[in-house]
Structure 1
């Protein structure tokens, strides 16, 4: 089920839209990964343990998840651009507050506000693509955005490592504040409003709830949302638990996170590029199926490598999760497009509901699964394999239902 794309801006501005949207989507990964190299300094300065510092990730993720339910419906009601603008402004203020934190509790409050604000750019930016573009063009541009989005987790810890070399841990949060200000200026200058007033819904609590209800009653949404969440969750296990995996288990230093993130994110970028190139040749469903098959192979490879001495050394320890990431790059842009077309009049609500499922799972993963799996390299590999195989099963179930019944 599809609908006509929104009114397009002038050609010159249109060419910049995917680039701006991709940069907006980087706020999420930068918020999670940039602080990792500063954890040691933060622990000493705030007098807290490594386990307590995992709350810096969890607080952000849970707040992001809670607010993600509302960002999409709000953009359906007031337009995409105002939600992004106000969210970036709030994010900049919250980042500055984190830089002034004298205690862990203060820092966690700042991280909560960061999380509440960050979804305005990361969630709504993806909706704009489907507003403006249709068919293979939307698939190609979503893949282009995924390429730049995929680079963020590889770049962020390197940036964080460089920042803590030239300044105290607070420098990381001043960087986040500055990034938000730059993106705010770019949004105001370059981003069009893709959701015109005649397509908006009333800004009422009942209408927001109705929008979300229209999404969650669709069985296909749950099958696809959990497929995407679980397979990406395997990759996020290594992202959210990077400090444990890289430093505690493998004995690497603050500047060595790239040894994990470069192969993992590089593979995801390759998958995203390939997805965009194949968009005119095969269907989105076929690309999702191929991607998840590759991820399953990568998950099993990760377990095998973890059982050998190579599993204790980077980058070999990252080979399995790199193949998982390649599969995600191939599948993730396409499964998002498929979900957005389930309820075309409520695309903001679709993206919010999908993001909520993913974020809650990843927050729990960072707080519970990563420390538990972090007892060994094999623990990480097995936990990732379980996530991938469960997600692949959800997609297989969806494909079976789609072939044997009227699409739901």
Structure 2
């Protein structure tokens, strides 16, 4: 009997399934409206640049609140934060559906971003609350597989919803999904952070916990490594409306041509990560994933510089390899981050999410709109994966140095008094 079988079906299948759907609401909410941008531009009215704010405002709000979701859950428990956040998300989605102009739509999107992190961020801590070692890695990988579906099915579902009605129906669908997740948390998810392990909700305690995380160099090396490498993939997610329609010349129902191979590869990587649990060390597995992403970045530039730059499927081969590496790396990197501060899991997830979201928000408004070509997207992605690879190599070098120093001290003779 495996360890998962001994733990029971509810903890190893049902709970990770609920957590996966909670974690996917954040990325799902980013790109579901993409197919409706043309219709929204005509009816609101708004330019393509103004509509990019639909992504940027959501990400900025998500990032701003992400700093607090985790520490609050450390203090009051996981379930209350997720339930309240998803209830606000439902209300914000309804507000978006009835927005008569771009300004009010952006207000609704801001509240969607402020609330979505309560599910996406806090859900990551639950696996670590319950499990350790190879079991935690396997279950985190299962969550990552379903989490990875969100960016792929978001634009596809958005395009299908548009066949049933106008663009507000997309936000009605998001509201219905939010209601379903509230019910799932209330009915299926146990509270995994008992009172005796909770921290104080005082402002000083919350800020102190975040500061303690932010002061640790190892946290930054790991957090920036995963943020930069995933940020390379996010260039294509956040800029899908530009890349698919303007660069590749595809239509509103063709977003799957980017998202299916890219997210399919990420899911494959997450599955491989789960299969490797207990067989390959976390460090070696992460190195394999980072290298795979870097190779994907190089392949992307080579293809984009060739005559096949905008031909499918060649145009998405490079970013699909980047996504494969992300899938291998992400679950293990999350556990490495969480293990740095076992008593402040929420604070760790919040700070790492904040860094990644700020990077993605800045990229969405300051980089993505100006790429304009397949080579522009590929070059920016290569810069991201290269920087992430350097952060990981730096972390490994520091670990090796510390181990060598510890080994020298261990061999020194002890002077007896």
* TM-score (ref. length: structure 2): 0.94
Residue 3 of structure 2 aligns with which residue? none
1:396 corresponds to: 393
1:370 to 368, 371, 375: 368
Asked if 1:342 is matched to 2:345, the reply is no
The answer for the alignment partner of 1:100 in structure 2 is: 98
Q: Does 1:241 align with 2:239?
A: yes
| Structure 1: distance between partners of 2:315 and 2:338 | 35
C-alpha separation between the residues in 1 aligned to 2:200 and 2:279? 40
Please report how far the alpha carbon of residue 214 of structure 1 lies from its aligned counterpart in structure 2 after TM superposition: 1.4
Which residue of structure 2 lines up, in the alignment, with residue 206 of structure 1? 204
Partners of 1:144 and 1:272 within 8 A in 2: yes
Match of 2:273 among 272, 275, 278: 275
Give the superposition deviation at 1:11: 3.3
Match of 2:259 among 246, 258, 261: 261
Query: What do the CA deviations read for 1:338-388 (whole angstroms, capped 9, x no partner)?
Result: 000001100100000000000000011111111111x21100000000000
- Other-structure match for 1:63: 61
Separation (CA, whole Å) in 1 of partners of 2:176 and 2:7: 29
Q: Identify the residue that residue 112 of structure 1 maps to in structure 2.
A: 110
Alignment deviations for residues 47-84 of structure 1 (CA, whole Å, 9 cap, x no partner): 11001000000000000000000000000000001000
Q: Distance in 1 between matches of 2:217 and 2:228?
A: 17
**Residue of structure 2 equivalent to 1:124:** 122
Give the corresponding residue for 1:173.
Answer: 171
Give the secondary structure class of the aligned counterpart of 1:345: coil
Pairwise CA distance, 1:307: 1.3
Cα distance in 1 between the residues matched to 2:307 and 2:15:
46
CA contact (8 A) 1:295 1:388 kept: yes
Indicate if the aligned counterparts of 1:271 and 1:327 stay in contact, CA closer than 8 A: yes
Deviations 1:276-333, CA, capped at 9 Å, x for gaps: 0001101111111000000000000000100122221222200000000000000011
Q: Which runs of 5+ in 1 are unaligned?
A: 1-8
Deviations 1:129-148 (A, max 9, x none): 00001000000000000000
Name the CA distance, whole Å, in 2 between partners of 1:161 and 1:118: 22
Partner of 1:318: 316
The equivalent position to 1:142 in structure 2, one of 125, 140, 143, is: 140
Mapping 1:15-164, distance limit 5 Å: 15-164=13-162
How far, CA to CA, are the matches of 2:312 and 2:162 in structure 1?
22
- Hey, what's the Cα distance between the residues in 1 that align with 2:150 and 2:248? 23
2:228 counterpart residue number: 230
Segments of 5+ residues of structure 2 without an aligned counterpart are 1-5, 407-417
- Per-residue deviation, 1:12: 4.7
**Equivalent of 1:387 in 360, 377, 384:** 384
Q: 2: CA distance between counterparts of 1:289 and 1:101?
A: 46
Counterparts of 1:136 and 1:349 in 2: how far apart (Å)?
Answer: 23
**Shift in Å, 1:10:** 8.2
Cα deviations by residue, 1:242-297 (Å, 9 ceiling, x for unpaired)? 00000011110000000000110010011000000001101111111000000000
Q: 1:211 & 1:287 partners in 2: Cα distance?
A: 30
Output the CA distance in 2 between the equivalents of 1:326 and 1:85: 32
- Given candidates 307, 330, 333, the residue that maps to 1:332 is 330
Shift of 1:26: 1.1
Match of 1:190 in 2: 188
Cα distance in 1, alignment partners of residues 180 and 7 from structure 2: 23
CA separation in 2, counterparts of 1:39 and 1:167?
Answer: 14
Q: TM-score, normalised by structure 1?
A: 0.96
Q: Secondary structure at the match of 2:263?
A: helix
Calculate the aligned-residue CA RMSD, in Å. Answer: 1.3
Counterpart-to-counterpart distance in 2, 1:308 and 1:12: 50
Residue 300, structure 1, aligned to residue 264, structure 2: no
